[in-house]
Structure 1
Amino acid sequence: METIYYDIFKKIFPAGASFAFAYGSSVFKQIGHTSSKNTMIDFVLAVEDPLEWHSRNLDKNPSHYSMLKYVGPKYISMVQNSFGAKVYYNTLIPTQNVISTEDLVSDLLDWDTLYIAGRLHKPVSIVYIDNKNEELKNALKINLYSALRTALLILPETFTEQQLYTTIAGLSYSGDFRMQIGEDQNKVQNIVLGQMEEFRQLYLPLLRDLKDFVIVDYTKATGQQDISASTKLFHLSMLPKMLQLEIAKEWIRNGRIQDLEDVVRAAALDPDTNDLIFKGVTNIVQKSSFSQSAKGILTAGIIKSIIYSVSKLKKMWRSWHEDV
């Protein structure tokens, strides 16, 4: 855990978090992004009791809330838990996301929304974790395995190390409407190129564990995987529940097999498995990103949302011109 971020975390926020991490360009290098002393640190906090935590944070940090602070913590926690990705999100303050520990574990295991689980596919700085919470620790590990398996099902038999990490990092951005209207178009590539070593450290233990199915040669930065039907079935059977259900929806839509287990077996034989996987991930992200962004207007306030959106549009505009 990074001491510098832990000190900031303890200073700013009240007690009650079971897990916290810092992420973004202020924490890890991104190509094309110049950091500064004034760059805001983004935190994600998982709390056991959102109502109690928001009560404490309202007393300590009323500026973290929009007009919702006037209706109290009960309504704030209701808004958090009932809409979007079950995340309380605010812009332009030194935190952006608060989620209940229970909802975080569910997203990590099942990819209900891929909102926080997707952030954790990429390198982050773990600021605090309740080491007694074995369920949370196991869910964090399973989420990484799910990201790796999903990427392998999308990738061809041979690939580069950079392609592997770019595919993993891009999962949580596929289907995100903000990538079309408000984000740097090179965001995923910039994240990976600036953090190749961090991605390697994050996924090296997992790749070693899956050495019977995939080999990455780090001296050549290339990889090769077994793409046989039996291996695809193995990966497919281990995918998060929501992604499996999205794959099944594609088959049902085409009037094919409807039983989930039969769908998984049939998908392993499908030459277009990668398309099925990508569509499934896109559908999950599409739904959660739009609803969560809409909720952001309520939780952050209209003025802050506009300021934040304008800054994102400027980044997108710069990235377009850099590509010309």
Structure 2
Amino acid sequence: MFKYGVVRLHDLINDILDWERFYLSGRLQKPVHILVDTLNLEDVNSVNLRAAVSASLLLLPTKFSEEDLYAKICSLSYTGDLRMLFAEDRDKVKKIVRGQFDSFHSMYKPFLEEYEAKELLGSSSSSNHHGNILSQISWSKKITKTLLFFITLDCSLSAAHVLVSSLPQTIRSQIAMNLGGGNVHELAISSREEAAKCMQKILKWRVMVSSARQAVSDLLAVGAVNGMRYLARKMRKAWKS
């Protein structure tokens, strides 16, 4: 059994670049296997991946693990998803990240390097061994599983501005509107927390609308009987978790 859909390339690109519905872009923030690529999707999707890292860093605390980062990225497209209320495994995000950790690392390695070069990210460990993030990760894994390794984040207002500037323009426009400024070029945030809260609210609403639309589409596509059977299986998994 496969779940499948058909989408126009124009709509796909719009969602990747602007998070218009945050449905396809959310899928592509997780590891996928591309069979045939006539679009050079990897290059186009790099904008989406950078924005996902930026959004997640706005929501993370000062210190976090590499797994925490990928879990936060993965959870972006589930925030507000109606299915998560009653029809999804509560540990779904953790299972996705732990089952495909190396793939997440390969996907997001260039952006960790980029943000480290901008001095937005650093590293620390329980043994006070310092170095760049990626070599530190490799070093900590070789020594012992009990070693605590953390990525450290610059939580200053200037750093928050850099992260917000990497978000899609439609998201920045809504943030500007919600914070009292009508122009995305005049976006002014008074605190990192304010920007994070506003962004999270916008993403939650987009995911909620998309998930409701998708649920209706699923029922129309597969029929009421098959749809209810599928929903029942999902709900059983949710209750077990």
The bucket for the TM-score relative to the shorter chain is 0.7 to 0.9
Q: Distance in 1 between matches of 2:12 and 2:172?
A: 19
Matched position secondary structure for 2:88: coil
Partner of 1:127: 35
Matched position secondary structure for 1:127: coil
Would you say the 8 A contact 2:173–2:182 is kept in 1?
Answer: no
**Structure 1 residues 146, 270: closer, same or farther in 2, change over 3 A?**
closer
Question: Which of 228, 232, 252 is residue 160 of structure 2 equivalent to?
Answer: 232
Partner of 1:175: 80
Question: Which of 248, 273, 279 is residue 195 of structure 2 equivalent to?
Answer: 273
**Structure 1 residues 313, 271: closer, same or farther in 2, change over 3 A?**
closer
**Structure 1 residues 205, 273: closer, same or farther in 2, change over 3 A?**
same
Partner of 1:108: 16
Task: Give the CA deviation at 1:137.
Answer: 4.0
Question: Which of 239, 256, 260 is residue 184 of structure 2 equivalent to?
Answer: 260
Would you say the 8 A contact 1:247–1:276 is kept in 2?
Answer: yes
Q: Distance in 2 between matches of 1:223 and 1:151?
A: 13
Task: Give the CA deviation at 1:186.
Answer: 1.1
Identity %: 31
What's the CA shift string for 1:240-296, capped at 9, x where partnerless?
Answer: 123223323432xxxx3333333x3225x3543322221121111111111121122
Higher relative contact order (CA 8 A, sep 6+): 2
**Structure 1 residues 260, 318: closer, same or farther in 2, change over 3 A?**
same
Matched position secondary structure for 1:222: strand
Q: Which has the larger radius of gyration?
A: 1
Task: Give the CA deviation at 1:157.
Answer: 1.8
Q: Distance in 2 between matches of 1:257 and 1:206?
A: 29
Matched position secondary structure for 2:36: strand
What runs of 5+ residues in structure 1 fail to find an aligned partner?
1-39, 41-93, 320-324
Task: Give the CA deviation at 1:104.
Answer: 0.6
**Structure 1 residues 137, 193: closer, same or farther in 2, change over 3 A?**
closer
What runs of 5+ residues in structure 2 fail to find an aligned partner?
123-132, 141-147
Would you say the 8 A contact 1:192–1:199 is kept in 2?
Answer: yes
Q: Distance in 1 between matches of 2:188 and 2:44?
A: 25
Question: Which of 121, 126, 134 is residue 214 of structure 1 equivalent to?
Answer: 121
What's the CA shift string for 1:184-235, capped at 9, x where partnerless?
Answer: 1111111112222221111112211221221334125421122222221112
2:67 corresponds to 1:156: no
Task: Give the CA deviation at 1:120.
Answer: 0.9
The one-letter code sitting in structure 2 at the alignment partner of 1:312 is K
Aligned length: 218
TM-score after normalising by structure 2: 0.83
More strand by share: 1
**Structure 1 residues 227, 249: closer, same or farther in 2, change over 3 A?**
same
